[in-house]
Chain A
Amino acid sequence: MINAIELKHICKNYGRFSLQDVSLCVPQGSIVGLVGENGAGKSTLIKMMLSLRQADSGEIQLFQKPLQSLTRSDREKIGVVFDEGCFPDSFTVKQVRELMHRAFDKAWDDRIFSDYLVQFALPEQEVYSKFSKGMKMKLAIAVALSHHAQILILDEATSGLDPFIREEIIGILSEFTRNPENSILISSHIVTDLEKLCDYIAFLHNGRMIVFEEKDALIEQYGLFTGSADEIAALPAEAIIGIRENKYAVQALLARSKVDKSIPLEKCSLEEIIIFLSKSEGIA
């Protein structure tokens, strides 16, 4: 399997926070969701992939090449969307188009960009500072998709957006990976978005990679048991990932492989799995 992005044993120490031996890969043609609480290290990891920060140790490869070996042609194939707008406030969409045309040169596809402007209903003459957050994000995505990128990296790109825009963006990202050469790494703390979109889930907590798994396999690994405290106590301890209590019942997330098949388990959502896993790691 070819990996579009590969990180091996990445370490970075900032004193109070550190990334510890983080490994991750984005197989070509797939969508990997990087999930974690605020401050988990998602943005730090993404910035390292983009050479905006340096790792203390470890290896990062894009297109199966070390970062320092990437050519201009390789960099033209990387599309990036950050959570905050990054075009000059005084620029219009038309000026952004001209700017990107000069930056990407022959790789820039003006026709595709125009199509996205129409699809997203972005006015060409409007000043960037007057755009809403959703419009800024759509413009950033339109730019990222208009130079025949093969890797798309989105850092909290859907944060702060309403469900309608998020749904639209998810649809566009799904469409992007119809081309088997295209891959996406998207970081978010909105797990429901990642559950709809991603093939793989990477859960980063406090600088450590807790889980990196195929999404469907991850969901199948666990089940939710609802019962009384005594019933939970009777379950095999090694199967219990986490326990959640409310005034009506107690719920436990169980590893299916470690419990008897006769025990009734409900399917749980990815969000619930992540929350239980994080509780078992002691962050909540």
Chain B
Amino acid sequence: MKALVYKDCQMLMKYKTQMLIMPIFFCLLGLLDSLTMFQYYGMMIITQWPLSLMSLDEKCKWNPYALTLPISKTELVGSKYLFSLFGCAGYLLLSVIVNIASGALHGGMPSASSIAISFFVFCLSLILSFVYIPIIIRFGAEKARYLCTIASIVCFVVLIPLLGIGGVPWLAPGDKGSLPLLLMVLGALLLCVIIFFITYSISKKQMEKAEY
């Protein structure tokens, strides 16, 4: 697994402008009081990491070669989930720090809702990343781009209103929406865990059946 994580980190550094610097830039825009929502654009870029990395893997035919090394199919799948988790978690941490810094710069601490919303978006991004992975394994990176776009749209259209009925949380961090914030966050976290187990199981089965 550490070899796979090393490879993905090195490839991330190679394409750091698109995959790393842009999301950080968007996150840092949150330091400007009126541009908090741009943080969430950065998180959306991070959800594309599995697609980008697996596309690069396909280009160099890495997977069939990797499976001739002492690397199992489970590790091959697991590394993508791990990388997504680290990416989203790292961005969440940065996002919370930016929120706190923004609060300090513009007076007062950030509201609990803004931090909760950051966490909610973190869960959403993780869910999207997790959903992408079995799609990419099944259809390949290029075909998966279209399906992943559809998955993103469905997620935004269905899930966000569902968990924030009566308001659009990230545009107005002070608003509570119609559901208590804690319930919203816990619901997102629970959904995240459920989606992880479902998609991980599907991904493993897809990888077992895959032929190269």
Residues of A within 8 A of B (CB): 47, 50-54, 72, 75-76, 78, 80, 82, 84-91, 95, 98-100, 102-104, 107, 153
Contacts and interface: CB of A to CB of B under 8 A. Distances in A.
B157 interface: no
27 contacts: A47-B212, A51-B67, A52-B64, A53-B212, A75-B70, A78-B68, A80-B65, A80-B68, A82-B61, A82-B65, A86-B61, A86-B65, A87-B60, A87-B65, A88-B11, A88-B14, A88-B57, A88-B62, A89-B59, A90-B14, A98-B6, A99-B3, A100-B69, A102-B3, A103-B70, A104-B70, A107-B70
Contacts of A102: 2-3, 6
Interface residues of B, number: 23
Interface string B1-23: 01100110011001100000000
Interface in B59-114: 59-62, 64-65, 67-71
A100 B2 CA distance: 10
Interface of B: 2-3, 6-7, 10-11, 14-15, 56-57, 59-62, 64-65, 67-71, 211-212
Contacts of B14: 88, 90
Given A47-B212, A52-B211, A103-B3, A89 B60 contact: yes
A107 B14 CA distance: 28
A51 B64 CA distance: 10
B113 to A, nearest CB: 42
B7 A88 contact: yes
A23 to B, nearest CB: 22
Which of B2, B7, B14, B57 has the most C-beta atoms of chain A within 10 angstroms of its own C-beta? B7
Contacts of A85: 60
A107 B67 CA distance: 17
A54, A95, A103 — most chain B CB neighbours (10 Å): A103
Contact of B211 (A54, A80, A89, A99): A54
Given A54-B211, A99-B3, A91 B10 contact: yes
